[in-house]
Structure 1
Amino acid sequence: MTQLRFGLQARFLLVMALTLLLVGTILASLLQRQSAMQREVRGLSAQILHELFDRSLRTRGETLATELASGLANPVYYSDLSAVGALVRNALRQQVVSYVLVFDRHGRLVHDGTPTLQRYGQAMTDPLAAKALAAQKMVLQYSPEVLDVTVPIKIGDQRIGGVRVGMSRERVRKIESGANLTLVQNLNAIGKRDLGWLLVLLAALVGLGVLLAIYVQRTLVAPVRLLAAAAKQIERGDYAVQLPPHPRNDEIGELISAFGRMSESIARHDREVRHMAYTDALTGLTNRLGFREGLDHLLNTARSTGSKLALLFADIDDFKRVNDTLGHEAGDEALLQFASRISRAVAALGDDDAILARFGGDEFVILLQSGDVSLLAAQLAERLVHELSRPLKAQGREVFLGTSIGITLFPDDARDATALLKNGDIAMYQAKVAGKNCHRFYSRAADHAVERRVRMEHELRGAWERDELLLVYQPIYRTSDRVLVGVEVLLRWQHPTLGTIAPSTFIDIAEQSGLIEVIGPKVLRAACLEAAQWPLVGEGLFVSVNVSPRQLRSGDLIDTVAECLAESGLPAARLHLELTETAVIGDEMMAARLLDQLHRTGVKVWLDDFGTGFSGLSHLRQVPVDGVKIDKSFIADLQRDPDDLALTTAIINMAHSLGITVVAEGIEQEAQFNLLRERGCDLGQGYWFSRPLSPADMVKLIAAG
């Protein structure tokens, strides 16, 4: 059965029908509005006529009563009833006058308008009489039947009586009704005449619509159908449209001629747009959109064939440092070199079907689909970690970076693209947690661990404002005489439900999430304010505050330190900043510039956890520091491990040769203290001296001397 098609002609006819319907509706609305307006006019006219007749009746009543009062003054004064009667009868001849009552100053009727004076001498008892008797001037009173006009009759200023004229409202209403009827008849005649014109107009519009439909059928529908067929051909991807020659020189003819040229242009632009849409502009690799589209297709194929896929999610470690310190152009250079190295590593794998894409700013993804994908993914990840750990050249400078890689498998770990990418991201995050520059396979346990870590990161936001983050102070003593000379500020997190959270856990989260850039300055400010309030002992205890690599690279450390010192009033010489070796390794020139600026403010800089970064003592010549803190891992086995003792001794001697103070961390036994003192270690801290103290306990310790 042939399916009926709602074509252009049918649509046009429908539009015409709807247009006529709309016009008819508008005309009907106009008629309805006209009828409503006629009703409004009738109502308004009736109201105006009513007010006009009422005003006319009142005016006539006032005039007549005034004239009667003036004419009746002498007849009433002289009791000339014949004269009074003549005036009253003359007034009653008017159709709208219902009655005329003349009364004396005592309220008794002098004349009631009847020939026999039936009520002569009687008092007036009607409802309007009371106000009429008391009237000192004209009084108007209304009842449903009459308008009563009372005017006092006076001789000079003396009131000798009054006259009441009753103007008939019923007679006026009859006249008013007649006028309204005439008005309605005239309005109805106008309405019928307008209706006739509207019907003629509607008939003309219908005829015009029919003629227009015939014209459109002959001149527009056929060529448009031809163009529609050509458009469908282009829609199918066939841009070689062949349109027959035509004799038309109008816009339709131009459109038909342009279709052929357009198909060629569309084909060319389609190729260009697809390339732009699916290719990363910087590296030339497939971008996120292209990779997702290809991944969805490959997953469908893998489901039908039962094959496996491996996805590697690689993220450049500390890439933000390159952008922040060297600029975005240097970052782009580094990305290009990373992309080149990854491409070479994938090519060396021998998997021609592997797909490499730049997924985001510093994220790359690789999809393996041939062979033992799990084994190949591990081998490729190891190769990438090795290749990408070699230094790069950016803006003429060597940059040391690395990569953290997460690996997830289909269908073992996920059944769709979204879950697969999510699992790859989670595995990559686990690689970063494991120390960066390594790879990790996705596991459900890791998934839960990441969820816990994300939840803890969420809890950490706002922890300072909720007073969950607390400062404690670990005393630092001079080893020669065990005199208290300073403190190291330590941060503790007292969670309301999880209890005390280890600093090694939440500091790492703060560092990786960037929260350390918010928390760090607050810790520095609070420590300076607290230390400035301590009792002054000698030159005053110094306070040592840890500074993270992110704070060092943020660019505003100098300003932050200056603001904290200015606000607290703490002398710059009493503030020590502790940096880890990893914060300065890899870009000693930048670190040296920052530390030199800090020195000019009077603040001292110590290198924390010295010896753990495997940087060598040579870095001490390049980076201007005032002191080094020997890591507690060397102090713990000082008595049992000759190598640790020798290394510690060498650090002390080399530091002293450079004029650098040495602090030993983690002293927990007297024997450790004695060995360090014998070898000339300047300062020490650890549980053997004192555990970290609260601010109140710290004040007590200082006061005790």
Structure 2
Amino acid sequence: MPGTPRTVTKLIEVLSSWLPSLRTRFVLLVAGLFVALSVVMIMVASYLDLKDEEQRVVSDARAIGATVSRLAVPHLTNHHYLILEQELESIAASGVVELAQVLDPARAVTIDSDPATSYFDDLETLPLVQMAFDTGIEQTHQSRKGVEIALPVRDMKDDQVLGVAYVSVTRTSVDGILFAIWGRNIVITLVLLVFCVPVTFHFAENFVRPIKELTQTAHTVSAGNFDAPFPVERTDEIGVLARAYRDMVATIRNNMARIHELAYVDPVTRLPNRESFRQHFNGNMTAPDGKPNRMSVLFVDLDRFKRINDSYGHDHGDALLKEVAARLRGLLNTVCHPLETAIGSGSTADAVGHGPAGLSPLVARLGGDEFAIVMPEGKSATDIRTLAEDLVQCVEQPLEISGLTMAVGASIGVSTYPDDGEDYTAILKNADIAMYAAKRTGGNRACFYNEIESDTRARERIRLEAELKTALLRDEIRIVFQPKIDCASMKVVGAEVLARWDHPERGMLAPGCFIDVAEESGLIAKLGDRVMELACLQGRAWLDRGRSMPIAVNVSIRQLEKPGFTARVLEILNFTGFPAELLQFEVTETVAMADPEGVSQTTKPLLEAGITFAIDDFGTGYSSLAHLQRLPFNTFKIDRSFISRLAADHHSRSIVQTIIAMAKSLNYEVVAEGVETEEQHVFLKEHGCTTAQGFLFARPMPADRFESWSRGFLQPLPSAADRGNTGRTGSHFAA
């Protein structure tokens, strides 16, 4: 507490540790206040009683003095000194009066209550007596020992002063008075304390009880039970606190439900997402007896979906995905619970949620146009094959989307746990391989992983994987550069690096021939490191020749996920001497949005080193502006599918304009991919696109050709008539 001495603060801390109970603290606080008030009361009462005692002694002395004065009148008048002396001695015998005297000034006689003296004795006149006689008024003197009063003795008839009466009254000692007063008040305080402590305990119990109830409710909520009741019916402060706590818990519950939905539910189809599917699979891998549960995973990929998505837009694509998801879920429900479906008992979600053998079948959307289904042991291989064929037939039925009739197919790959893999990753990868095998044979069919081992193309894929490993060891990977052109100045402002495989038998292979194999086999990290190293070495060589060329390199999700990626990048930059500020990483929008937090954490040290980042294929994913602001990107690369339809599709033009406008508002650069016509270039330039790349300017080329080409690039673009004479678009700049 501010202003509190450290010693007092320490004492409070010690007492708080000793007295954890709120009720005990409350009782002790009340008792302490009571004791403190009692001490103050005793002190005040003692002071007042002491004053009263002093006033009483003075009053007694004055009363005795008045009595002595009245008694002395007749005796002084008649000079009956002996009788007066006897009366004074009797007054002093009471023990209250220490000394009583009467002065007869006319005869200079002093009569007192002391038996040892006589009125014949020549006694000295007391100063107080003399003062009373001289002034004719009462004189009082107080001391610690007693009270002295001298009163003139007057003749009532003629008001003549006959003499002076003197009384000395002994006062009880202050210590004795205080002891008596304190003793009395302490007894009263103890009686009141004995009465008040039980009352205080009772009151404290009633006071603390609602707080204890609220605390128990809080513990119940913290244990996960958000339906615990709160004492909201109270009208006091506890009720206000309970209502505030209830509202807070309701908000937390809603937020947790929302977080759970974002983490485990696909926002488009409302199906479980990839993470939910993974947890479901991993949670059902082992039976209670420790043996593995047999499960089949069906990997479903839609055929011709991209064509529909590109032609009609993402809204129609999302609507199609929703319809396909409903069909898959409905079919799975029918297969697993035909009786319940026939009589209409329970919802689809409820029916699918309970499978045979205690395991639950589940359909999920993994991303894009990919779905996955896990089926428990209760289904035989024949049942799974029948289900896969039914799924193909279910999906290929025409769909009505916004008044349009659309048709897609489904290529399905099936793998079985534990026969086809030891964990979730292996099972899903093998189901994916089986799905690609189905696509290679025309699609719209199902293929089992255990049946493609003898397939020629499967063996080819395995052989290609082995050859790719050898290619990395033999340094058969090459890179080519596709230039980036400033739309306004028409200067070469950078280049995108693309990988090529110089195969000893097949010649130069494009990435489409081996990237999938690299991804599935885990070789993509080594391949990406090699491409990055070659790109930085060439960039450094150009820099040494006086040419500063920004270079963009594509990065896959597997590279970002691999531990040590950041350290490896910085190591390559340090080894090659290529400046980090000239290096840009291109990450696809789908990858960036799949795990924004992970991407942000991975890229943060690279961003601090000076590396820039671009979102590749922007517009094809589901970007969130909130996520974009937290991610380290500073460049949008508009997907080539939008650029290719600029001339014929109004929606594509609107999308491109919107992306450019959004990039400007976020202070991003914009790169348009796939520019092949002058009309596309003019449109992009007029609407503020920063940079373009495509066959209009040049095809990807090796470093030496890129260098010579870029030196002679700044020439006027050919007119439409000239391009017509050449017989191909952009041939003036094509490599």
> Which of the five TM-score ranges fits, normalised by the shorter chain?
0.3 to 0.5
TM norm structure 1: 0.44
